[in-house]
Structure 1
Amino acid sequence: MNKRTMALSKSSDSFSCPVCSETLKSPKILPCLHSFCEQCIHEFILSTARNKDIAIKDFNCPVCRIVVKPKDAKAKLDKWAKSLQDNVIMNTVLTMDHGNKALECQTCKRYTQTFEAKSWCKQCYEAFCEKCISMHNRMTLLMTHDVVPIEDVGCKTDGLDLRAVSEYCGMHPLKMVDVFCFQHKTACCGLCAGINHRKCDNVNSIDEIVHSSGIYKTLLEKLNDIRESTTTLLHAKQQEKANIKVMAENTEEDAANFIQGIRSKLDICFETFKKQLTVFHDEQNTRLNIRIRLLEQLIQSIEHWTKVTEVVQTSGSITQLFLHVETVKQQIETSTTELEQLCGRDTDINLSFKENETLQKVESVDQIGSLSIEEREKDTNQIGDLFKMCSNFEICIPRFEGIRIEYLRTMHMSGTNLICGVCIADKYILLGDTSTKPNILHLVDKTTGLTINKTVITGNVKRLYFDKDLSRIFISCFTKELFSADFKGPTLAQINRLSFNTDYVGALCRFDKYIYIIVDDSVNKFIPSDPPMEMARSFPTNTNSRGLNGMAISKEKIFYTTVDKEIKCSSVDGQHIFTHKNDKIRDPVSIAMLSVNVLIIFDRNGALHALSNDGKKQATLLKKFEKVVDPWDMWVSTDDNTVYIAGGEYIDVFKIKFD
């Protein structure tokens, strides 16, 4: 085994494709610095498009799920993988490792000459023969580059090609990325900053950010802190899983001992009890497996980022370091937010067997006993330690307990009767105005509050929904009418009535390829094709679409209001998950899901509430609006968690924040 082969075998994980688990072939590297076989990432992109059943504009890394956009937005889908950055370093090591053929000088190769490569330049990412490296080292701009013998590439590389972290602007390829907008969390060149971010409040140069913040100097330390906290939490969940198993086994044993003397008469009851116990154990096992998997994935990601950080700090530029840090922050924020939703409410479970006191009357007993389950909040919150480590990394994890609302401003539209609204893209609001016959749709600039244009609609407007993928507005009415119109630039195209609808309809929302819509006694769905297909019944409900109602969809869950003043949650195929109702929420008529998976509920009586997505936590955010006295609708800009309340001539604007 030669020196290169030994190096490759020692770090075989780095040279294995995460998709096929084989040695990488034609390796491509993503901006997150994960590498894949070109064919594997190609098939993954195609499968992503097939699953969504719509034209996709980006895809997620199969490992860390970071969003990856194609270099050419207009390129065909089957060309995306080929256009990804080649992992030159990894390809070079693999080429040297396989076969007896020597690696060729890449400079000579471009001129159809063949000479064996003897040296490798870490900055140029190229192999050179003796003649070419001599010329390379004589050039003033190149003489400071780090050049190593070609044999050392396989010994010292970790397979990371930092060129995948592009320092050039996507809109202006000749300009370097040197500015960051905190409002949009976007890095760009100075020209983009002057055009697209001139109104943004917090725009700074990358150089200034890197030199003024200590996070870039202590990055490895902070990543290690997060990894240690995650490992502690993982061990705790593994121990909790083991404890549940022991308690379940002990409880089953207690039950078995209890029925020893009367087993012949109680076999059926005992089997029923065991099924209950098995269901509980399986539910808890599933719950903890999900948490354990997420924690393991986070540790794996952190180990990857730690390796990447060492390379970036050693060989990368300031811009690459900055972009890398922002990528790490976004990834950790996504993972820890997901952990908060699953692990934020930790409980201790005590499982025991409770005997049936009437068991003496065997013939009248239909069960041997019941599971006694005590569940209480833990005295220590281990996930809180993880969030504390994340806060040191300048990552804020939204927690339901810290939710609050802040008044921003009021928009006044004199002479209108605003009954509904929706945010369109990042810049506009579409409002339904019933002050005149026929009704009017106002397109308003979100920032200035000025009307851009007006569109007349024949229907009696009730609710609006904007489909981002299609850039299309759907409009339900108090009559048996459903309309749609495409949004093109700052205008609405012709409004068309969807002839397949023959029912009173209410709130609507999209999931996957379907538009789900509330009808009198059911949730229906249709495919928004051109023309749209027929409407089909999804599942029955206790709704009433003749009045006002609300609907929101998140992660295969549908949340909707009912005639009984409830908030119901079902799966998209109609399996009931929970029902939430109390005296504080008197007349819920509109709901919206925030980007952090918190449900905002609008009460027609003039209040605003928050509900966790499991229905267990509720908070009242507002009991009275600023100017709106007769509120009709509420909608949310999920980009920045801004809430809009409309009624009469006013729109009150609020911001959801988390302490």
Structure 2
Amino acid sequence: MNHYNNDLRKDCERKDKQAIGMAEAHVDNRSFKCLICLQECNTPRQLPCFHTFCTGCLNTYINSEYVTEYNRTYFPCPVCESPCYPHDKDAPVSCWAGSFPRNQLFASSTFKETESGQTFCHGCLTDDEENVASFWCKACSEALCQPCRIAHRRSKLLSTHKVIAIDEVSKTDIRMPVFIDNTCPHHTGKTIEVYCHDHNALCCVLCVTLSHRRCTNVSSLGDTTKMFSLDVIECELGKMKDESKTIVEEDENKLTIIEDDYQKMTSNVATMIKKAKDKLDDLHKRFQTGLDVTYRRHRESLHERLRTNRIFQANIKNTNQLMRVVKGKSPDVDTFIVTEQSKTQLLSHVRRLQQRTGDKHNTFELKMRYDDVLEKVINVVTTVGRLEVSSSLSSSSQDSLTSIRQTIDKLQATSSVTSFSESTSSSDMLRDVGHVAVPSSSIAPRIDVWTGSLSLVKSVHKGSIGGSVTPCLTGGIFIEGECLLATDYTNKKLLLFDDSYEYVRHYDVDNCPIDITCRFEPNQLLMTQPNGSVIKYTFRDGVLTTVDRIRSTQQCWGIDILGDNILLGTESSVEILTSDFKQVAASIPKRGYNTSVAASPNRLFYHGDEDVIVCRSHDGKEVFRHMCKGIKELRGIVVDQDGNVYVCGMESGDIHLISHDGSKDRILLPRMSGIARPYAILHHPRRQEIIVTSWQENVVFEVYKFCDQ
């Protein structure tokens, strides 16, 4: 790995020397683009997923597309669709966009001034106010208006700063100061101080305590950034920028070609029609209508693909520009934070990019096959020909997308920090955050689940959990980082495991818990019970609090969230409910055992009907049915981030994999290592691991990881 880093760094240095003249020539023309309008970002707002948009664009998006119509309390990010919650959900929707933090890094690189060339006060701009500046503080490197100048002078800490007239300052020096947000996104009031190399995660001390206490490769940011190298990241981002440029340029070219084909074909057909008699006028209109419909459909498809790739190209350019902004101008810790944040948002963006464009064609060739009897038998002609469209994804675009995905995997697998001499545990970190060193770690690239195999990595026995009766985990969910919260049906408990699947503690409940899922808002959970109850909880900092209890007329079983709706599996049906448990559509009857349900990121959901898997759209309409070969007494169902469906047969003792469209399947595990009757199945949100529970056996659950064959 070190050889790879060294070679990559040399390659970057060589390219930097070749392009240094160009970089210097454009240093004052840097700007960041909004990922909605693709124009220069105006009053940039950063969402929790680190994607940034104009305040106006974000406000329009929230109001018109996702909130007003459905009365939601959150909205998905326009790029990666991560759920975003306003700081005050009761605030008017028109205020949501402005409640998200201003991206000061984007703002700092955009020289903002009045039409007459005067500079706006930097302090006022942070509050979205535009007041002309008259002064410049040399110590703060900030432009100040008269009121801010007075407040600056009255401050005991700032009163000694040298403040001069802004006319005495060069325009190139007037930039917004660079601020790095180092607050923990998971724990209010905590700052990022720690880096977990096991999970490539930025953490506060509380994160380490709750989610990473078993991790061995943990270090303080101070120690981590001493060995931090930005060159590797910059070089990889440069490759991604080049590949994204290739995709966009080819899409633009293909769009021009299909438009030219359309124009040529329209002209040729019109010429042919003129040679025919009046009887052909009606046929001409029919043909033109069909041609227009086909052209618009494929042109719109190509437009949508081009826009998606343009957004990704803009995101890559923004990230590259961001690296140039922070490089050499910010503390190493801040630079490292920005780098890791950028990697996080790029990973989610690339995954979404693959889902949206990976199988969308960008080459459409319009051809016309004229009827052989057109000129000979005018009186019996019923059509001028058949419009044929052959489409494909060009090899260059496919190669570029594959290269981007491989680069992202390489960024995840290649630590931007070289080797440390010592290692420490998270317990050491809690005692002394500032004096920790760890060896570098890496994350393996993603395995193709259709060709890879499963390897057992952990078995959890009932003796490590306790309980008066052998535990039976009928459901579970990953919370607060990567901790597992599982429902123990037989002992009436919720069991908490850390990210290494070590038992931490339990929570007593008043009835047998069956299944559990995340609700629409952060830290909120929904749990089903056999007496027809659905319990609302909050889970914060290891504390589980009951919020409400909803009664149902039937025995509740499986539960999951699909968009704005709740999926509820009962003894004899599947129910689609609103967030306040009002029925959306008619009950969906089903046969067989207690009903597990699983929602997909593709707005589909799956449930069992005896031993058949049924796929339905978000409104409950059936899409397909699929029966896995040899499966008996189908029980648990789960869907991964790519839409693949995993199911287990309790009596057949096997685990099956089904594609999102039901076109293919495979037996992942014909038998388990220590489990004879698998019951529930879970999928880790970040690692390629599945967790399979048993029905009251000595082995409570087993963890399997995907690996190459």
Across the aligned residues of Structure 1 and Structure 2, the Cα RMSD in angstroms comes to: 5.8
Equivalent position amino acid for 1:486 in 2: K
Among 647, 650, 664, the residue aligned to 1:601:
647
Among 217, 220, 223, the residue aligned to 2:231:
217
Quote the residue 2:551 is aligned against. Answer: 498
Among 194, 212, 215, the residue aligned to 1:179:
194
Flag the 1:454–1:377 CA change in 2: closer, same or farther, 3 A: same
Equivalent position amino acid for 1:429 in 2: L
Flag the 1:358–1:296 CA change in 2: closer, same or farther, 3 A: same
Equivalent position amino acid for 1:595 in 2: Q
Under a length normalisation based on structure 1, what TM-score does the superposition of the two structures give?
0.70
Quote the residue 1:527 is aligned against. Answer: 578
DSSP-derived class of the 1:315 partner = coil
State how far apart, in whole Å, the 1-side matches of 2:134 and 2:160 are: 18
Select between 611-620 and 345-354 the one with higher mean Cα deviation. 345-354
Structure 1 residue 226 displacement after superposition: 0.8
Quote the residue 2:519 is aligned against. Answer: 467
If asked which structure has higher relative contact order (CA below 8 Å, sep 6+), I would say: 2
Equivalent position amino acid for 2:535 in 1: A
- Report 1:90-489 matches (<5 A): 97=114, 117-121=134-138, 123-125=140-142, 127=144, 152=169, 154-155=171-172, 161-163=177-179, 165-167=180-182, 177-183=192-198, 185-189=200-204, 193=208, 197-214=212-229, 216-241=230-255, 271=286, 281-345=295-359, 381-382=398-399, 383-394=401-412, 404-413=453-462, 415-416=469-470, 418=472, 420-423=474-477, 425-426=479-480, 427-433=483-489, 440-446=491-497, 447-449=501-503, 452-455=506-509, 457=511, 464-467=516-519, 469=521, 471-475=524-528, 477=530, 482-487=532-537
State how far apart, in whole Å, the 2-side matches of 1:364 and 1:634 are: 64
Deviations 1:357-393 (A, max 9, x none): 9999999999998776767786664222222333443
Equivalent position amino acid for 2:461 in 1: H
Select between 238-247 and 595-604 the one with higher mean Cα deviation. 238-247
Structure 1 residue 295 displacement after superposition: 0.9
Flag the 1:521–1:331 CA change in 2: closer, same or farther, 3 A: same
Structure 1 residue 126 displacement after superposition: 5.1
Q: 5+ unaligned residues in a row in structure 2: which ranges?
A: 1-27, 125-131, 414-444, 464-468
State how far apart, in whole Å, the 1-side matches of 2:69 and 2:452 are: 35
State how far apart, in whole Å, the 1-side matches of 2:388 and 2:669 are: 39
DSSP-derived class of the 1:613 partner = coil
DSSP-derived class of the 1:201 partner = coil
Flag the 1:225–1:454 CA change in 2: closer, same or farther, 3 A: same
Tell me if structure 2 keeps the 8 A contact 1:230–1:299. yes
Among 491, 497, 516, the residue aligned to 2:567:
516
Flag the 1:237–1:198 CA change in 2: closer, same or farther, 3 A: same
Tell me if structure 2 keeps the 8 A contact 1:30–1:85. no
State how far apart, in whole Å, the 1-side matches of 2:270 and 2:597 are: 46
State how far apart, in whole Å, the 2-side matches of 1:523 and 1:237 are: 43
Tell me if structure 2 keeps the 8 A contact 1:222–1:389. yes
Flag the 1:76–1:248 CA change in 2: closer, same or farther, 3 A: closer
State how far apart, in whole Å, the 2-side matches of 1:498 and 1:22 are: 51
DSSP-derived class of the 1:423 partner = strand
Under a length normalisation based on structure 2, what TM-score does the superposition of the two structures give?
0.66
Structure 1 residue 352 displacement after superposition: 5.6
Tell me if structure 2 keeps the 8 A contact 1:421–1:633. yes
DSSP-derived class of the 1:626 partner = coil
Structure 1 residue 318 displacement after superposition: 0.8
Tell me if structure 2 keeps the 8 A contact 1:506–1:545. no
Among 607, 619, 629, the residue aligned to 1:573:
619
Equivalent position amino acid for 1:544 in 2: K
Tell me if structure 2 keeps the 8 A contact 1:35–1:87. no
Equivalent position amino acid for 1:498 in 2: R
Among 573, 593, 601, the residue aligned to 1:547:
593
DSSP-derived class of the 2:678 partner = coil
State how far apart, in whole Å, the 2-side matches of 1:494 and 1:96 are: 50
Equivalent position amino acid for 2:220 in 1: S
Flag the 1:432–1:187 CA change in 2: closer, same or farther, 3 A: closer
Deviations 1:124-182 (A, max 9, x none): 535499xx9xx99xx9999999999656564455x66421x224667999997442124
Tell me if structure 1 keeps the 8 A contact 2:471–2:700. no
- Matched-pair identity in %: 15
Quote the residue 1:537 is aligned against. Answer: 585
Select between 188-197 and 280-289 the one with higher mean Cα deviation. 188-197
State how far apart, in whole Å, the 2-side matches of 1:297 and 1:626 are: 46
State how far apart, in whole Å, the 2-side matches of 1:462 and 1:143 are: 65
State how far apart, in whole Å, the 2-side matches of 1:212 and 1:166 are: 21
Structure 1 residue 550 displacement after superposition: 3.9
Structure 1 residue 297 displacement after superposition: 0.4
Tell me if structure 2 keeps the 8 A contact 1:270–1:367. no
State how far apart, in whole Å, the 1-side matches of 2:560 and 2:623 are: 19
Structure 1 residue 233 displacement after superposition: 1.9
State how far apart, in whole Å, the 1-side matches of 2:208 and 2:123 are: 38
Flag the 1:202–1:346 CA change in 2: closer, same or farther, 3 A: farther
Equivalent position amino acid for 1:390 in 2: I
How many pairs does the alignment contain? 612
Tell me if structure 1 keeps the 8 A contact 2:527–2:535. yes
State how far apart, in whole Å, the 2-side matches of 1:406 and 1:95 are: 56
